[in-house]
Amino acid sequence: MSEQSKNEWLEWLKAIAIAVTLAFILRTFFFATSIVEGASMDPTLENGERVMFNKIIYYIDEPERDDIVIIERPVKSYVKRIIGQPGDTVEIREHTLYVNGEKQEQEYLNDSAVESTRDYGPVQVPEGKYFVMGDNRAISKDSRNGLGFIKEEEIIGRTELVIYPFGEWGLTK
């Protein structure tokens, strides 16, 4: 093998090593993927869709109302939407969501999801915790019925993109 071929080979290996290292760093510290399990986020996210989530956003910012987040629990991770932030009062009356007494527009819900939202509360969200719900209100296990309030440290990222199936590719708001 000529000296030039060895140098080209070493440059190629170096480029591969840098790419693999960069991918590892991005996956470990910045972005990861998760598979949506179940129908609790229909119609926004469907069972089997793969989403990319931002792992670093909440180190530099706080979770906000309407963010779709990944919640990590010891046995299972959940994908839910933040409805109430620390200190908020959440109430559902006659299929309408109120936060701090103000009616919330929920354009992401279809009529069926709105009509299946049962009365709840009012409850005040404790400091350092969040109130979350799935978009499929009739069947979602969420802060109303099993998950309870979510600790800030349990929120490991905000969903950004649906990346699979390819025909569903797009932002997750």
The token pair that represents 108 in the structure block? 């992401």
Q: Which of 40, 129, 140, 143 is catalytic?
A: 40
Phi-psi bin for 167: left (phi > 0), alpha (psi -120 to 50), beta? alpha
Q: How far apart are CA 84 and CA 82, in angstroms?
A: 6
The CA-CA-CA angle for residues 53, 36, 130, to 5°, reads: 65
Name 56's Cβ contacts closer than 8 Å, sequence gap at least 6. Answer: 29, 30
Whether 40 sits among the annotated catalytic residues: the reply is yes
**Is residue 80 annotated as part of the catalytic site, yes or no?**
yes
Question: Do residues 43 and 173 make contact, with C-beta atoms less than 8 angstroms apart?
Answer: no
CB neighbours of 161 closer than 8 A, spacing ≥ 6? Answer: 51, 52, 169, 170, 171, 172
Q: The tokens of 61 are what?
A: 């910012």
Among the listed residues 34, 80, 129, 143, the single catalytic one is 80
Q: Which positions are annotated as active-site residues?
A: 40, 80
